[in-house]
């Protein structure tokens, strides 16, 4: 009788060899840097990325913001309400379709744009990455995100 080969799986990689942990740990470190930098602006990181999207193009719908920022409506709606209460933006129902809600910057939100430029500069300095290395990392991480999302979304 022929001997059956035993199939074994390799042992799991150590924590420091895991891509998931490297991405997770880098994300936590980045959030800590931004938390310190945004504190003087009175912003949280989620508020900051909403403002970045609106500085890029004001008047987006809530659903457009959610898609771009990868935030579901259960997270985004309370965030926008707090930002509206703080006078950073306003939400306006669409006239043609009241189900659509458009988000517009208020003067306070527009004024933060100039001050936020120093946040980006200081975060870049903290990363110790040159422009070329940073751009390469961004491209690689965007490709990784797209691949992972394609995998889970089928």
CA dihedral 81, 83, 87, 88 (to 10 degrees): -130
How many whole angstroms separate alpha carbon 149 and alpha carbon 25?
20
In a domain, 24, yes or no: no
Q: What is the pLDDT of residue 1?
A: 59
How many independent structural domains does the chain possess? 1
Exposure letters 69-95 (e unless 16+ CB within 10 A, then b): bebeeeebeebbeebeeeebbeeeeee
Range of the domain at 58: 33-128
CATH label of the domain that carries residue 123: 1.10.10.10
In a domain, 44, yes or no: yes
**Neighbouring C-beta atoms of residue 37, cutoff 10 Å:** 20
Q: What is the pLDDT of residue 6?
A: 73
In a domain, 88, yes or no: yes
Q: One digit per residue, pLDDT tens: the chain, 154 residues?
A: 567 777 778 888 899 999 999 999 999 999 999 999 999 999 999 999 999 999 999 999 999 999 999 999 899 999 999 999 999 999 999 888 888 999 999 999 999 999 898 999 999 999 999 999 999 999 999 999 999 999 999 8
Q: What is the pLDDT of residue 2?
A: 65
Q: What is the pLDDT of residue 9?
A: 82
- What pTM value is reported for the model? 0.85
Q: What is the pLDDT of residue 153?
A: 92
How many whole angstroms separate alpha carbon 4 and alpha carbon 78?
59
Which two structure tokens, joined as six digits, stand for 25? Answer: 């740990």
């Amino acid at each position: 009788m022929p001997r059956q080969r035993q199939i074994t799986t390799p042992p799991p990689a150590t924590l420091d060899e895991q891509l998931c942990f490297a991405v997770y740990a880098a994300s936590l470190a980045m959030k800590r840097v931004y938390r310190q930098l945004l504190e003087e602006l009175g912003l949280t990181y989620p508020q900051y990325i909403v403002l970045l999207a609106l500085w890029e193009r004001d008047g987006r719908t809530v659903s457009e913001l959610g898609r771009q920022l990868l935030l579901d409506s259960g997270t985004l709606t309370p965030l926008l309400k707090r930002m509206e209460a703080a006078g950073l933006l306003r939400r306006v129902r669409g006239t043609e379709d009241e189900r659509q809600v458009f988000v517009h910057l208020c003067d306070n939100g527009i004024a933060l744009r100039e001050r936020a430029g120093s946040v980006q500069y200081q975060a870049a300095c903290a990363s110790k990455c040159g422009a070329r290395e940073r751009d390469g990392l961004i491209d690689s991480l965007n490709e990784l995100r797209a691949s992972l999302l394609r995998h889970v979304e089928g």
